[in-house]
Amino acid sequence: MPQAPGADFAVHYASPHAARPLLAQSAHILGVVGYGIEQPDFLPPDRPFIAAPLRPAAGGAMLEIWTSPSPCQPCQVGPVKGAHGGGLAFGAIKLDETKSTSLEAAVEAAYSDIFDFMDGAGFETPIRFWNYLTSITSHDQGLERYRRFNIGRHRAFSARLRQPLPPVASGVGGQHGASMIYFLAAHEPAAPIENPRQISAYAYPPLYGPRSPSFSRASIHRQGGSQALFISGTASIVGHETRHSGDLHGQIAETAANLRALISTAAQTASAPLNGAWAVKIYVHNPAYCPAVAPAIDTVFGANCQRLYLRGDICRPELLVEIEAFWRST
Ligand code: 3EB
């Protein structure tokens, strides 16, 4: 059972049944993401909700609920719906590919709308992005959709991002429905952290597309005496190359080594030991992979971490698993 959303910057992964009592006290809710579910009737309609184009890898529908230390105000700027409170903002947007001439134009427009939302709500900086892109590895007029996505994101960040380095992100493919982006923003930027085992994604060579993926591997965000650690979607990549193609157990072990390297790098700059509450999302290309991943999650994040397994396509077709995480000091 997740804890009740109280006066905390936190995330809760819960079934609709378990979420019902949590969402009733909705004042602290920044935003809710649904996996295999549309807006639940017990979530007050003014609270931001977005249905993701991903489903849980096993079992019924799940909700991802972000809460803030202070009561939140719903707000909408253009097509971006969100809420803010306690120095944090949540927002979400669905991509409308029918209105644009290309995927890169649709992505650039969506990110531009996100920057307009932050400007309108008075938030200086994004701290975390989730990009769920339908048919991520499909080819579209000679260029993979993920590569087109990277072009659009790069254009919007070049025009609007005020920080020198891009924030933490996940990039995963959905199987149904429109592509979407959701995000967290704050008044102060998070401090980016890179992985010594990997080349920075924003410095990948052109082998992976005309524009590199704009994200940092991890970051620490400090606010009001507490700190949060965000870890980007992490996969079996060393340097810039995929390792263990076609070998699930090899990819899981390499991904775990990448996560451990990030956590020990972060521990050098964090002002508290990184024990306690982790929340982990695991994206698997095939639901049958979950039992093989579980022991690695226990080892890296502890048996008591919250975890949400989702069926998703990773942005390189040979990658089988991607893992992201969030931790907050207690
Ligand atoms: C990688 O390391 C795997 O494009 O936003 C992970 C996290 C990945 C975020 C993104 C992509 C993204 O390159 C893929």
DSSP letters, 172-235, are: EEESSS--EEEEEEESSPPEEE--TTB--GGG--GGG-SS----BSEEEEEETTEEEEEEEEE-
Ligand 1 atom closest to residue 237's alpha carbon, by position in its atom list: 2
Q: What is the DSSP letter of 95?
A: -
Taking the C-alpha atoms of residue 13 and residue 99, their distance in angstroms, rounded to an integer, is 33
Q: Which domains does the chain have, with CATH numbers?
A: 10-328 (3.30.1330.40)
pLDDT at 226: 87
Residue 273: predicted pLDDT: 79
Q: Which of 240, 241, 231 has the alpha carbon at shortest distance from 194?
A: 231
pLDDT surpasses 50 at 280: yes
* Contact (Cβ atoms closer than 8 angstroms) between residue 292 and residue 271: no
Q: How far is the CA of 101 from the centre of ligand 1 (A)?
A: 25
Over residues 102-119, the pLDDT tens digits come to 999 999 999 999 999 999
pLDDT tens track for 83-94: 999 999 999 999
**pLDDT at position 51:** 97
Distance 171 CA to ligand 1 centre (A): 5
Distance 208 CA to ligand 1 centre (A): 11
Reported confidence tier of residue 73, pLDDT bands at 50, 70, 90: very high
Question: Average model confidence (pLDDT) for the chain?
Answer: 95
At residue 7, the pLDDT reads 62
To the question of pTM greater than 0.75 for the whole model, the response is yes
Could you tell me the distance, in angstroms and rounded to a whole number, from the CA of residue 214 to the centre of ligand 1?
9
Q: What is the pLDDT of residue 6?
A: 54
pLDDT, tens only, 218-250: 999 998 888 999 999 999 999 999 999 999 999
Q: Is 306 near ligand 1, meaning CB less than 6 Å away?
A: no
The letter for the amino acid at 169 is A
How does pLDDT run across 147-205, given as a tens digit for each residue? 999 999 999 999 999 999 999 999 999 988 899 999 999 999 999 999 999 999 999 99
pLDDT digits (tens, 9 = 90+) for 135-149: 999 999 999 999 999
> Which atom number of ligand 1 is nearest to the Cα of residue 319?
3
Question: Which pLDDT band, with edges at 50, 70 and 90, does 277 fall under?
Answer: confident
- pLDDT of res. 49: 98
Q: What was the pLDDT predicted at 27?
A: 93
Q: Is the CB of 258 under 6 A from ligand 1?
A: no
pLDDT at 207: 95
The Cα angle at residue 276 between residues 128 and 18, in degrees rounded to 5: 75
Q: What is the pLDDT of residue 224?
A: 83
Nearest CA to ligand 1 atom 9: 170
Q: What is the tens place of the pLDDT at every residue in 251-274? A: 999 999 999 999 999 999 887 778
- Sequence-distant (≥ 6) Cβ neighbours of residue 101 within 8 angstroms: none
Tell me what pLDDT residue 4 has: 46
